[in-house]
Chains A and B, each alone.
Chain A
């Protein structure tokens, strides 16, 4: 194993591979920074070039490097302008943007990048530690278990609703209903599409996220006629943010573990890791009432998770050739084209390739975080730009990001609809996060329930994995209630 580890390290540190890794990190970071242009789109564009490369190590360095860092730089737009740069940085908006409004953008950003760095270390460590039992781990989760995990995700709606649980629940239900729009993937039956080809693919998550969070904040800034930061000084937040991560080291480790866990489950989707970690933080940390008001823990948790999940997604990919998501599916296609065959050999005779993936995840994260840290102070100053400068800039990001959903004019109409919805929700105190979560999880929930019932009938409820997971879901929902009750009784 040591020999394979060394071979893998030397492979990615070769001049050619290292150079390509840096190129991948640069592209991945830029893509993460720009809303709407996701990692999968960029990977798809690069695939034809990569498939002609001869050196497998170079392919690993480039593609894994690109994929690993997409969620790091996306924190810039999430924190500074309340626009999610990628699907993995949606939860970061809730506290990150609130911190930016308080003039603590630098603190939020440095906390985010430091958490990303640690998440980016912990993920590969967990991947390495799980090598001996990768295969039984992946095989343990079938459709019933995935369904319960989506329920777990939706149970977070209550956590994300703050002081408006009923509104939060209704918002979550609306989100699930929105997820049903389009042609049913099993049968092709049209649902709520009204014969419109545009709606056959469903409503794009990018448009929902940008509409709910991006535009309402612009309207708020324009109506207040102020800059993003309500204070005028930048403060010494940069070092404070780094210290915050180490101050809350246990939260960082736990959130990273949540990220790996979500990442390794093929079929759960990478856009839930940050939400899971965020909700976990609210449920387990002291003074949960501060979340959503600019609590740095609300930045640390999702950012640690969205980096560690990348390593997690390679577990089923390497063990079985079963990609953890769209990005790894594309990377897998490139791997096969250059002769890297995922499967049992990746844990035996081709272990050096597995180690190359692990080393790339670590090194690429370091490079990306270092680059992002260098831009924290200059970019944070955008928080002090007057509204007449920053609002048009944000709107450009939002519109370009929204248009990239399908490159159709109708994208902008849908963006408008969700912008109005987001504005009305914000104005009347309806939490928006549950609606977004409903959209993210709705389709998967329906799919796994269908498969569970069709395959097992009601027997799926008696599977040991399902029972264990239901108990965990119940515990995660009841634990905060028990904590509150105990605190009230103590008072």
Chain B
């Protein structure tokens, strides 16, 4: 009797153990596939609220979770300053490999990196690109009352306003001054898009550039502003009467190192707003995030809101393509870099060599 009872006990124990083992094995197998269930992704943004980078980040934060397993929550944290330097440095120092911190940056961060300097403590080539949103090439706006002074060297200088003196569209201004004789002066330090928009309306600055067709059209509707040129290989839809900057240059278009340097400065423009994960993020997580980003771009609500914010010219680039573009945009020859440094110094724009 006792022996029979012991056998039953042993059998039950064995079954319980087997059941537990099977459950543990299943859980382990399932855990190989990442899931965001119950988790929160922080999207760090390199600009202040309200501008293009911030808007892109919020759109992504809203729709990306829909296509991620587990449908995580998202929060957006703004960290403006230094043309993206602050946020980039912070992301590099604090980003972990758990896929819970992503970074929305813009071409400025790449421009700052290329320019170099002691304060640059990040390398965007090491980021894992998830995808990017581009809004078409930048357009350069000018106040109508400043237009007559643009080509008159004896007149008061036309003021170009910028955030950090590194934006890709600024290259049109600098090269316009250098090769077209535009009568320009550059002022940087405005905190963001909204402050520059106000400054342009007030006349505190006379020229400003942006990729946002929406903002441009608002200004054109207001009256009192012209679009000088655009930074694209071909004229954007909706701005077919605005010459490209290359068309404006005509036979004064520089060659050799000068033009290589121009392309190096404006190259990041093709990337525009991009989302990245830290360098150490595992491949399977990166693949999942990239897939979700791409699926997000087909979401009808996403498309509707993106068009509302950016106009019709926006498009998505996949993560691997974005990665390649980042590599290309940040690969600049020493000669081109030196040329740009000299040019920036000439027009009192910040170089990477400011003393700490």
Give the B-binding residues of A (Cβ under 8 A). Answer: 40, 44-45, 47-48, 51-52, 138-139, 142-143, 182-190, 197, 200-201, 266-267, 316, 320-323, 326, 329-330, 332-333, 336-337, 339, 343-344, 447, 450-451, 454-455
Contact = CB atoms under 8 A, between A and B. Distances in A.
Interface stretch (B88-96, B144-152, B328-336): B88-96
A10 to B, nearest CB: 26
B61 interface: yes
B58 A187 contact: no
A320 B119 contact: no
Contacts of A182: 81, 86
Interface residues of B, number: 52
A281 to B, nearest CB: 31
Interface stretch (B194-202, B231-239, B290-298): B194-202
B194 A326 contact: no
Contact of B81 (A188, A454, A455): A188
Interface in B110-139: 112, 119-120
Contact of A142 (B188, B191, B202): B202
Given A333-B50, A333-B58, A139 B301 contact: no
Contacts of A44: 49, 75-76
27 contacts: A44-B76, A47-B62, A51-B58, A51-B62, A138-B198, A182-B86, A183-B85, A185-B82, A185-B189, A185-B191, A186-B82, A186-B164, A186-B188, A187-B119, A188-B83, A188-B86, A189-B82, A189-B356, A197-B89, A201-B79, A321-B218, A329-B49, A329-B54, A336-B308, A339-B308, A343-B221, A343-B222
Contacts, number: 137
Given A48-B61, A320-B201, A450-B189, A266 B194 contact: yes
A320 B202 CA distance: 12
A51 B76 CA distance: 14
B35 interface: no
B309 to A, nearest CB: 6
B341 interface: no
Contacts of B205: 455
Given A47-B62, A182-B86, A455-B159, 18 more contacts: A47-B58, A47-B76, A48-B58, A183-B81, A183-B119, A184-B81, A185-B80, A185-B81, A187-B82, A188-B119, A267-B195, A321-B218, A323-B49, A330-B49, A333-B49, A343-B222, A450-B189, A451-B187
Contacts of A330: 49-50
B190 interface: yes
Nearest to B309: A336
B355 to A, nearest CB: 9
Instruction: Describe A's contact surface by its main secondary structure.
Output: helix
B26 to A, nearest CB: 34
A388 to B, nearest CB: 37
Contacts of B76: 44, 47
Contacts of A343: 218, 221-222
B31 interface: no
A189 B202 contact: no
Q: Which of B50, B62, B308 has the most chain A CB within a 10 Å cutoff?
A: B50
A332 B50 contact: yes
Nearest to A52: B301
Interface in B58-83: 58, 61-62, 74-76, 78-83
Given A48-B62, A190-B356, A197-B94, A322 B55 contact: no
Given A51-B62, A333-B58, A451-B190, A201 B86 contact: yes
Nearest to A316: B198
Contacts of B198: 138-139, 266, 316, 320, 322
Q: Which 7 A-B pairs have the closest CB atoms?
A: A188-B82, A188-B85, A329-B50, A185-B81, A329-B49, A48-B62, A197-B93
B204 interface: yes
B354 interface: yes
Contacts of B204: 142-143, 451, 455
Contact of B191 (A47, A139, A447): A447
Nearest to A135: B201
B305 interface: yes
Contacts of A183: 81-82, 85-86, 89, 119
A189 B350 CA distance: 11
Interface in B246-293: none
Nearest to A450: B189
A215 B215 CA distance: 47
A454 B194 contact: no
